[in-house]
Amino acid sequence: MDPRLTLQQQRKICSQLGTVKLQLLYKASLHGFTVAAFHQRCDNRCPTVSVGYNSSGYVFGGYTQKPFNQSGEFVNDDQAFLFTIKEEKLIKYPVSTPANAVKMVNNSGPYFGESFVLLNSGQAVIYSNPGYYYNFDAEEMHGNNLNLSECEVYQVETKLEIEAPWRTIIWEPEQKEKLMDSIKNYKFAYSSVSQARILLLGPVGAGKSSFINSVNSVFRGHVTNLTIAGSSTQSLTTQFRSYSLKADRSGKALPIVLCDTMGLEEKMGAGTYMDDLVDILKGHMPDGYQFNPIAPLHSGTADNKTSSHEKDRIHCVTYVLDACKIPIMPAKMQETFEIVRKKVNLMGIPQLILLTKVEEACSLVKEDLTKVYKSDYIRVLMHEASSQLGMPLSCVVPVKNYCDELELEMNCDLLLLSTVIQMLRVADDYFDNISYLVSNMEPRN
């Protein structure tokens, strides 16, 4: 059976339910708009999501943890809710009287309280009566079009661990030392540059500053707070900062510089200006520059660097995304990323996606970080991030930052170090291209 719910709509619903997938049980256009067909395929199955569609283009329905039956009784379900999906946004209407959340009726389809019924009295129609155990706006929910063009019921299934990891990491102490040595001794194809400059871009709170702190912590041997990081609705980073990390206390610099900026926002006037971004990419932005919410750097400030060398430029742009927010990324934020990516593409700079907070997005990973590449849900989120930003899945890297820990954890370190290696490799691709261009330039007269 092919579900009518789009993959994005399914993910919107699943984002309310945890690490799950939807399995289609009943499709009225295939099995019949009859009560008998509904009960035959859906009774004693739970949890379920029931979805209605009408000719006005509305998609709406309800969720319950309780199995359907034909007892004629109300059942208690404090997790039940009704919903509608409008412009890819899910609007949720929680149950107001859990004791009457769902009624088990033998001559109707999914029956939520006394408020909402699909296949009412066995007909291809909707019963809608807001206020009886669920509060919703009928116009908002289904546009007052009560004729069903389709009705589907999905079983909610836990989907956590796949049999074999789809990417390989060696989770051993020796591997940590090997990765650290590889990073310390990394040499780029372009010999005139000893450090790759990685620009971190992402929404407020995605974890850019925390990532810098976390990588620094691995090499310092304890949890550090090199940058200001935390939870806020506004960016905690108000300056452009370049962090040249050290391999150890001796002061030897690592071959990577992590650059932090203000968080991107849906309205670019509230975040990093596009003109400021171009200056950063070209290496014209001085370290410590205070972002001006009124005017970009090039509008006349004396701080602007009029020229730059290759070592000052950005060699890789890494978009930092909160894994928990992938399913609900606003369309305007996706548009912002698209604008940024076009500018970065024009400058020939390679790009990565850093997926943070994977342990918060998936309970399996929270219990055991080594299962990050065995989590089907994390894989789905990585595919979604790849699709949203228009980049290959190979460019998406999951990571866990240090946030509330006081001591280092080996598995967390391994994931962070693997991410740094990937950044260096991507930057090296940029240097390979530079070397090729330089070697093929004709001598100028």
314 part of a folded domain: yes
Do 68 and 191 lie in one domain? The reply is no
Percent of the chain whose predicted confidence (pLDDT) is above 90: 61
The pLDDT value recorded for residue 300 is 43
Which residue, of 131, 158, 185, is where some domain finishes? 158
Do 138 and 220 lie in one domain? The reply is no
Residue whose C-alpha is closest to residue 412's, from 423, 404, 401: 401
Do 154 and 182 lie in one domain? The reply is no
CATH number at residue 269: 3.40.50.300
163 part of a folded domain: no
Q: pLDDT: is 227 or 167 the higher one?
A: 167
Q: pLDDT (tens digit, 9 = 90+) per residue, 243-291?
A: 999 988 777 899 999 999 888 876 653 445 677 888 899 998 888 777 7
How many distinct structural domains can be found in the chain?
2
Do 23 and 151 lie in one domain? The reply is yes
Q: pLDDT (tens digit, 9 = 90+) per residue, 404-421?
A: 899 999 999 999 999 999
Range of the domain at 20: 7-158
Do 47 and 89 lie in one domain? The reply is yes
Which residue, of 130, 158, 186, is where some domain finishes? 158
Do 145 and 219 lie in one domain? The reply is no
Do 260 and 150 lie in one domain? The reply is no
Q: pLDDT: is 44 or 50 the higher one?
A: 50
Sign of CA dihedral 12, 13, 18, 22: negative
The pLDDT value recorded for residue 52 is 97
The pLDDT value recorded for residue 18 is 79
Do 134 and 208 lie in one domain? The reply is no
Q: pLDDT (tens digit, 9 = 90+) per residue, 359-401?
A: 988 878 988 999 999 998 899 889 989 999 999 999 999 999 9
Do 37 and 144 lie in one domain? The reply is yes
Report whether 386 contacts 422 (CB < 8 A).
no
Do 189 and 224 lie in one domain? The reply is yes
Percent of the chain whose predicted confidence (pLDDT) is above 70: 89
168 part of a folded domain: no
Do 348 and 401 lie in one domain? The reply is yes
Residue 45: pLDDT over 80: yes
Mean pLDDT of 55-70: 94
427 part of a folded domain: yes
Do 257 and 369 lie in one domain? The reply is yes
24 part of a folded domain: yes
The pLDDT value recorded for residue 270 is 44
Q: pLDDT (tens digit, 9 = 90+) per residue, 68-110?
A: 988 889 999 999 999 999 887 899 999 999 999 999 988 999 9
State both tokens at 64.
Answer: 């319950």
Q: pLDDT (tens digit, 9 = 90+) per residue, 180-222?
A: 999 999 988 777 889 999 999 999 889 999 999 999 999 999 9
Which residue, of 158, 191, 212, is where some domain finishes? 158
Q: pLDDT (tens digit, 9 = 90+) per residue, 129-184?
A: 999 899 999 999 999 999 999 999 999 987 667 878 999 999 999 999 999 999 99
The pLDDT value recorded for residue 396 is 97
Residue whose C-alpha is closest to residue 313's, from 339, 355, 280: 280
